[in-house]
Structure 1
């Protein structure tokens, strides 16, 4: 008699075209962000597919026009057995000038063992292989004793916390897998927070008065907010260099804690001394830090810099941190997530990967960020494990290897069958 693994592997190979069909349908939905507010067709397709697979589904809007779908299949003995979240985002980055693509970006194209199209690597490929894994289990009639949740969220590409909205609705499990781009490695991640620093004058001066302002030896106590922002930027650079030699974390190269001056805005017009300047920064931090602590550290350093300036000490910089959307309020937060290599879920996933691929799954830290941090922050042990190479994400002529999609589906299907049929009492907390 064939083992469950053999049955899954055989059926996955026989039904590759079904996997390609799922991905083709997802790629055809133009869920670009920005502009966003366009996930209805894609989420409707996923909702219907989940219902066909026996899931109870619920939908809500993160923003008008951007839907989230969550499917739930309750286990036969849910109080005693492990539960699981499969998570992924349906939004993709903009394709840009489509004339530069070799083929239309929203029409899936297969060449040899590669599938081309916007989102194939980040991360509609991972969504398709995850749904295909559920399809395999359903067709084989494999019953699960523990609960399984499938979260299809939006907003990840624009810092809009669709996954956080799932957490806020009380979705909590024993383990979670985010199928974002990781080249079938098992990843944790650092975190990101954006912030605005504002330098503002209490008065506005005409350009003709510049020669009489304090920097030129005149009698007017005034300054250009743009020029004073240069001191703030210098202070941020000093702090970034300090972090590079004082902070470290396993899995990250030195200097991964960065402070990027992303956007600068200021001034009225050429007839005035700039009375306000705003700087938008993006901050990367390690898993052993919180975004609140990092923001506080930056504020304290910049306020100390301001005390050393004769004008800034009376006009201290103002700070705004985070936000709900890069589109709505030009702000975002991605919590970091550490990984416990001894956790039973991670160990089981590694073993399943080895059984399917005949090689070890690397366990490391992602150089980018995903929605996984929101699940981890809610107390759900979470890893990133998905198909696709990071260099393909957001790229022209984006592609993913079909063989890797199939492998991901095989690993997931086998893992789900084992994890959701494992009693909670045997978990290594």
Structure 2
């Protein structure tokens, strides 16, 4: 079975990687249409979902009948490949060397999508033969890399269930919690003037200094907030932009803050903290500021001893000798939609190393992808046992 699985996984995964699905701008259409056609060729009727963006359709599949229903979720968008000269192999020409498959999206997360597609087809055959009882829902979602409501829309369209697995790369470890992410743009005002007469204006860059000091103190404070599985919170300044021309005193400057937060916090809580921080700076230094939250991934968690988590941990250990201790993922994924919006018992789990996400020469080890399929099959077989 392993050799056959390897051939099936390799063929499907290389096909998926060959589609350039970069987001931005959002080029998922061709890959979505391929997935749609692939399921039809396998005798399964999928749905092509035009919401929330008709130019970037999603694919949803439901097979089987009865309880429980397990959702297998994956996204088909990838981050841009960047400078092609930095790649050892062309990013959209998947290449295999010594059991390692190279290509953009190999780890994040087309391997997970391929494993889920194959498992969906095989479960359908087992259910039809009367060997298993249960329902699988498959998602090929758009827009995950930019926090767009792809998965959320699929859930709202009825493609939900009792359990959920988001097949992001975790090296087959089972994550029952994840950090949230909020990006903030803070604008600091000044008053423009010609640089030959700088005292006729107010340099926004100078006004930024107390804001940066306050953000540094804020980061120190939030790092004291800790979670047993996820570590601490962060507030990191990641971008700074100011000025329009060399000889113009800038009238504004913009700071970007990446705020990673724990399940005990919410984006609303962070909003209040940013608001209070800037109000204090304005009062103490007499400067004008404004802010907006530009992107949000809420945090999510389920009990570490949930039924699904225990089943996946046990089979991952049996197949791939993966640790069974409780674990959380520090990255943000669409599992938040399954847990928070659809109130599902859901985990993040899948083949591939998270460190490979968004890198040059992104790659995945094919034996781990095969192991991922075998674990997923055993999990579904366990949950669907008549």
Answer yes or no: same fold by TM over 0.5: yes
* 2:19 maps to 1:33: no
Distance 2:63 2:87 in 1: 40
Q: Tell me the secondary structure at the aligned position of residue 137 of structure 1.
A: helix
Question: How far apart in 2 are the matches of 1:276 and 1:362?
Answer: 49
Q: What's the offset of the Cα at 1:150? A: 0.6
Indicate the residue corresponding to 2:188 in structure 1. 199
Which residue of structure 1 lines up, in the alignment, with residue 145 of structure 2? Answer: 157
Q: Which stretches in structure 2 are left out of the alignment for 5+ residues?
A: none
Q: Distance in 2 between matches of 1:91 and 1:274?
A: 37
The residue number in structure 2 matching 1:184 is 172
Q: CA deviation at 1:30?
A: 0.8
* Residue 119 (structure 2) aligns with: 133
| TM superposition shift of 1:421 | 4.7
Which range is displaced more, 83-92 or 128-137? Answer: 128-137
Q: Per-residue deviation at 1:124?
A: 0.7
Q: Structure 1 residue 414 and structure 2 residue 378: aligned? A: yes
Q: How far did residue 342 of structure 1 move? A: 1.9
Partner of 2:358: 394
Q: Give TM-score scaled by structure 1 length.
A: 0.82
- Give how far 1:23 is off: 0.4
Distance 1:282 1:41 in 2: 32
2: CA distance, partners of 1:22 / 1:286: 36
* Aligned position for 1:105: 91
| More deviation, 262-271/399-408 | 262-271
In 1, the alpha carbon distance for the partners of 2:169 and 2:57 equals 22
**Match for residue 66 of structure 1?**
56
Greater CA deviation, 62-71 or 21-30? 62-71
Give distance in 2, aligned partners of 1:15 and 1:301. Answer: 55
Q: 2:211 aligns with which of 232, 246, 270?
A: 232
Q: Which residue of 2 aligns with 1:377?
A: 340
Per-residue CA shift, 1:237-289, capped at 9, x if unaligned?
101001123x1111234xx4222222223334345432222222211111211
1:297 shift after superposition: 1.3
Match of 2:89, SS state, is coil
Choose from 3, 23, 32 the match for 1:43: 32
Question: SS at 1:110's partner residue?
Answer: strand
The answer on whether the counterparts of 2:49 and 2:57 sit within 8 Å (CA) in structure 1 is: yes
Larger Rg: 1
Deviations 1:79-112 (A, max 9, x none): xx21111101111122223233222221222222
Q: Deviations over 1:222-251 (max 9, x none)?
A: 632221122111111101001123x11112
**Residue 15 in 1 paired to residue 5 in 2?**
yes
Shift of 1:176: 0.6
1:289/1:104 CA distance change after superposition, 3 Å: same
**Partner Cα separation in structure 2 for residue 144 and residue 300 of structure 1:** 56
The answer on whether the counterparts of 1:184 and 1:361 sit within 8 Å (CA) in structure 2 is no
Other structure's SS at 2:226 match: coil
Closer, same or farther in 2 for the Cα pair 1:54/1:362, shift >3 Å?
farther
Q: How far apart are the structure 2 equivalents of 1:224 and 1:107? A: 49
Displacement of 1:320? 1.0
Instruction: Find the residue that maps to 1:66 and give its secondary structure.
Output: coil
Q: Which moved more, 1:82-91 or 1:145-154?
A: 145-154
Report which stretch shifted further, 158-167 or 268-277. Answer: 268-277
Aligned residue pairs total: 381
Q: Return structure 1 stretches of 4+ with deviation > 6 angstroms.
A: none
Deviates more, 1:108-117 or 1:23-32: 108-117
Q: Secondary structure at the match of 1:263?
A: strand
Residues 105 and 397, structure 1, Cα contact 8 Å, conserved in 2: yes
**Structure 1 equivalent of residue 273 of structure 2:** 297
Alignment partner of 2:57: what SS? strand
CA distance in 2 between counterparts of 1:142 and 1:387 reads 29
Q: Is the 8 A contact 1:334 1:374 kept in 2?
A: no
The Cα RMSD (Å) is 2.3
In the superposition, the TM-score normalised over structure 2's length comes to 0.90
Please name the residue that 1:92 is paired with. 78
Structure 2 residue matching 1:303: 3-state secondary structure = helix
Indicate if the aligned counterparts of 2:95 and 2:101 stay in contact, CA closer than 8 A.
yes
**TM-aligned CA deviation for residue 292 of structure 1:** 1.2
Which residue, 300, 303, 306 being the options, matches 1:337?
300
| Structure 1 unaligned regions, length at least 5 | 1-9, 213-221, 322-330, 423-429
